[in-house]
Amino acid sequence: MKRVVILGSTGSIGTQALEVIRSHPQRFEVVGLSAGTNWAELAEQASSFSVADTALGADEAEQLVRDVDADVVLNGITGSVGLGPTLAALAAGRTLALANKESLIVGGDLVRRAAAPGQIVPVDSEHSAIAQSLRAGSGSEVRRLVLTASGGPFRGRTRASLATVTPEEALAHPTWKMGRVVTTNSATLMNKGLEVIEAHLLFDVAFENIDVTVHPQSIVHSMVEFVDGSTIAQASPPDMRLPISLGLDWPDRVPGVGVPLDWTTAQQWSFEPLDDAAFPAVELAKRVGLAGGTYPAVFNAANEQAVHAFHDRSIGFLDIVDIVQRVVDEHEPSSELSRESLADAEAWARRAADQLID
């Protein structure tokens, strides 16, 4: 029986994790829940799962992780605000089932140094796919990682045609139902940029050996190419309950959690190159990841600011990545990597982005 704390329990990841747990009571027990501000839904969840320990906000979530004895902490918080809870889970020796990619990307080596081997289990579907594929070979046999991308709702569009798209259009993801920020990031391809950095940090593969291919069906969730030319991929219908259940019970698989593929439709799978001219976010992310230090924190913070401004209709869709690019270009990196230097870099980036937004 795995004792599980769910951070971000009221969100897309959190509610799906509760679905997995409810349907497998012999395997999992919820012992802690946290949300941002949605106290009513949090209270309902706590009552429904008989959970005594709950938290509101990132600081309380960080304390909950320290106080509650658990085997696994699922971090399903949105944004770099999840960094504190991520570090607390690692320090407490919990298995960290990580959906909150921003905490790893922003924390960088601060998070990597805090994690024991295998302590972080990726929940992000591409990184779960890579972790599953890596079981087919050893680390030294890996030549390349290939991240798949749906291409988002604007796949095939020219940059010029994207100037006037609306928040509603950006949220119409073709294959996944997710929270607002990650869905918007999928539309700008910032999500894929973030995921390239995430893959580098999780699997220690050089950026030059991490590629992106657009796969509109979101069935193949990513692939690993080995030195002998063999490529191992993980494929399943787009359903986050599968990577979530693996995050909770790694390396064991939870029977019946996902619906198998219907192979008679496999001929509809397609792959195509990413249009870097229309969607420059991935190339920018690789530069940011290579620079490291406080650059990823600035990259992500500027994006969080711009995404919120886009949804407030203060800026246009193309302004999001443009603002991120300009803030990154203005950044003077800190020489040290600490929670303080990261917080300072993020605060600077949010102010710089806000000046460009206003």
Ligand X SMILES: CC(=O)[C@@H](O)[C@H](O)COP(=O)(O)O
Taking only Cα atoms into account, the Rg of the chain, rounded to an integer number of angstroms, comes to 19
User: Contact between 63 and ligand NDP (CB under 6 A)?
Assistant: no
Q: Which of residues 140-199 bind ligand NDP (CB under 6 A)?
A: 176, 178-180, 182
User: Contact between 285 and ligand NDP (CB under 6 A)?
Assistant: no
Q: For residue 346, which of 58, 81, 38 has the smallest C-alpha distance?
A: 81
User: Contact between 124 and Mn ion (CB under 5 A)?
Assistant: yes
User: Contact between 225 and ligand NDP (CB under 6 A)?
Assistant: no
Please list, in sequence order, all residues whose beta carbon lies within 8 angstroms of the beta carbon of residue 305, skipping any fewer than 6 positions away: 323, 349, 350, 353, 354, 357
Binder of ligand NDP out of 17, 46, 70, 78 (CB under 6 A):
78
On whether 245 is known to bind a ligand per the annotation, the reply is no
* Terminal-to-terminal C-alpha distance of the chain: 52
The stretch near ligand X (CB under 6 A) out of 38-46, 77-85, 123-131, 328-336 is: 123-131
On whether 13 is known to bind a ligand per the annotation, the reply is yes
Which 8-state DSSP code applies to residue 154? T
Residue 149: strand pairing partners: 214
Q: Residue 314, by phi and psi: left (phi above 0), alpha (psi -120 to 50) or beta? A: alpha
Position of minimal CB gap to ligand NDP: 11
What string marks each residue from 207 to 246 as x (binds ligand X by CB under 6 A) or -?
---------------------------------x------
CB of 105 to ligand NDP, least distance (A): 9
On whether 36 is known to bind a ligand per the annotation, the reply is yes
Binder of ligand NDP out of 54, 95, 100, 186 (CB under 6 A):
100
Length of the chain: 358
On whether 102 is known to bind a ligand per the annotation, the reply is yes
User: Contact between 274 and ligand X (CB under 6 A)?
Assistant: no
CB of 130 to Mn ion, least distance (A): 11
Position of minimal CB gap to Mn ion: 124
CB of 75 to ligand NDP, least distance (A): 8
Angle between helices 241-249 and 12-22 (to 10 degrees): 70
Cα separation of 149 and 218, whole Å? 7
CB contact at 8 A, 80 and 300: yes
User: Contact between 14 and ligand NDP (CB under 6 A)?
Assistant: yes
Q: Which is nearer to ligand NDP, 129 or 345 (CB)?
A: 129
CB contact at 8 A, 162 and 277: no
Owner of token pair 């509101």: 56
Strands laid side by side in the 72-75 sheet: 54-56, 28-35, 2-7, 72-75, 95-98, 120-122
On whether 191 is known to bind a ligand per the annotation, the reply is yes
Binding residues vs Mn ion (CB under 5 A): 124-126
Binding residues vs ligand X (CB under 6 A): 124-126, 149-150, 152, 176, 182, 186, 191-192, 240
Q: Which residues are annotated as a binding site for 1-deoxy-D-xylulose 5-phosphate?
A: 101, 125-126, 150, 173, 186, 191-192, 195
